[in-house]
Structure 1
Amino acid sequence: MARWEPDARGRLQQAAMSLFRERGYAEVTVAEIAERAGLTKRTFFNHFADKREAFFGTAAFFEERVLTYLAAADPQLSAMDATVQALTRCGLDLAGVVAPEDARTRLDVLAATPELRERDLTKTAELTAAMVEALGRRGVPARTAAFTAQAGLAVFNTAVPVWLADPTADFPALMQEAVAELRAAVS
């Protein structure tokens, strides 16, 4: 096994998504993921607690970037505009580290796997709470921050599948279209 090769974590995530795409989440074992990555099960467990965490391997990266971009947003921006800008930048960052086919696989596997949908809800709740706290540091009242974080994530989750269907599309424009549709829907 080529244990000396760099980026074991990334290789494990890529191997996991490839196997999930080929056979479905439930049919893949940790041992198979490690083998596909050219690593051992022990190495897998050095990076992930279980295969669910390999599936959600970019969640921490995403949350860190969203919070960084929210903190750096122009204070003159509205809470919603700062949130959409942060999520847009995050989506572009993710595109640099996650292949479009892996992102599409993630959505497909998530839709087909109740266990992962439950975990996704937990991770989304944690991200939302962190965003609410970050918006609070910008002076946004708690209820407004909660609405804004949830609405921003809804905009993101609406724009991403459209973008994945056509990765050449302009993601910032898709985000702006989605936020305009949301604003029209609630006005």
Structure 2
Amino acid sequence: MARWEPGTPERLQAAALELFATRGYERTTATEIAQSVGLTERTFFRHFSDKREALFHGQQLLAQAFLEGVNGAPPDASPLDTVARALRSAASHFSAERRPHARARKAVIDENPALQERELRKMADLATTVADSLRARGVDELAATVAAQTGVAVFGVAFGRWVSDGEERSFEDIVTEVFRKLLHLAGDAAPAPQETR
């Protein structure tokens, strides 16, 4: 009966992260994850296609947060202003209570090349989703791609700082700092090289 309790995916995710952190990702099986919370392997596979997905489940919520920011931007907002709104929307989902979990998850991913590759793919998929949403607002192909890739890069840098040891600032404050640094650097950039004839 325990397998039908509400919150089963979250319980499995928490158990998986704890086991990955203490025993190592490669040495932990789906069966062990399920058994550690009194569930069966079959129940685990009802929720996740494999043990890796226990770390990446819920990534659609991050994409949805970005899209809420994009969709909430005024129609005349520039692509970068729209991405800034998307970043603020995503940042609101990263509370101080989530930081210990995020730190542990990042540590597990950092120790495994296959998980690092999966994380990179997740970020690439996010950039594609944001770019598609910008294009749907009428932003041209190049601007949508550059703005979306830039926004995801800002998110990645901010996330890395947010989970670093000793960091206590809010995710939103860090996103704001990184985005301002980007704008400062862009303002300092030399003009694009002129085509020679």
- After TM superposition, the score normalised by the length of structure 2 is 0.85
Shift of 1:4: 4.1
Alignment deviations for residues 158-183 of structure 1 (CA, whole Å, 9 cap, x no partner): 11232234564133221121012122
Which residue does 1:160 correspond to in 2?
159
Which residue does 2:65 correspond to in 1?
65
Pairs within 5 Å for 1:80-91: 80-91=80-91
User: C-alpha separation between the residues in 2 aligned to 1:21 and 1:76?
Assistant: 46
RMSD: 2.0
Pairs within 5 Å for 1:60-139: 60-95=60-95, 99-139=98-138
2:139 is the counterpart of 1:144: no
| 3-state SS in 2 of match to 1:125 | helix
Change (3 A) 1:95 1:37: farther
Query: Structure 2 counterpart of 1:40, which letter?
Result: T
Shift of 1:94: 4.0
The count of corresponding residues between Structure 1 and Structure 2 is: 186
| 3-state SS in 2 of match to 1:93 | coil
Query: Structure 1 counterpart of 2:158, which letter?
Result: A
Which residue does 2:193 correspond to in 1?
none
2:56 is the counterpart of 1:56: yes
Alignment deviations for residues 3-38 of structure 1 (CA, whole Å, 9 cap, x no partner): 343111111111111111212211211011111232
Change (3 A) 1:92 1:21: farther
Alignment deviations for residues 19-70 of structure 1 (CA, whole Å, 9 cap, x no partner): 1121221121101111123221111111110011111112111112212321
Cα pair 1:17 1:55 within 8 Å, conserved: yes
In the alignment, structure 1 segments of 5+ residues that lack a partner are none
User: C-alpha separation between the residues in 1 aligned to 2:130 and 2:113?
Assistant: 25
2:3 is the counterpart of 1:3: yes
Cα pair 1:132 1:149 within 8 Å, conserved: yes
- After TM superposition, the score normalised by the length of structure 1 is 0.89
| 3-state SS in 2 of match to 1:51 | coil
Cα pair 1:3 1:39 within 8 Å, conserved: yes
Shift of 1:105: 1.6
In the alignment, structure 2 segments of 5+ residues that lack a partner are 190-197
Which residue does 1:172 correspond to in 2?
172
Query: Structure 2 counterpart of 1:46, which letter?
Result: R
**Greater C-alpha Rg:** 2
Query: Structure 1 counterpart of 2:110, which letter?
Result: A
Structure number with the higher helix fraction is 1
Cα pair 1:18 1:102 within 8 Å, conserved: no
Q: Work out the percentage of aligned pairs sharing the same amino acid.
A: 38
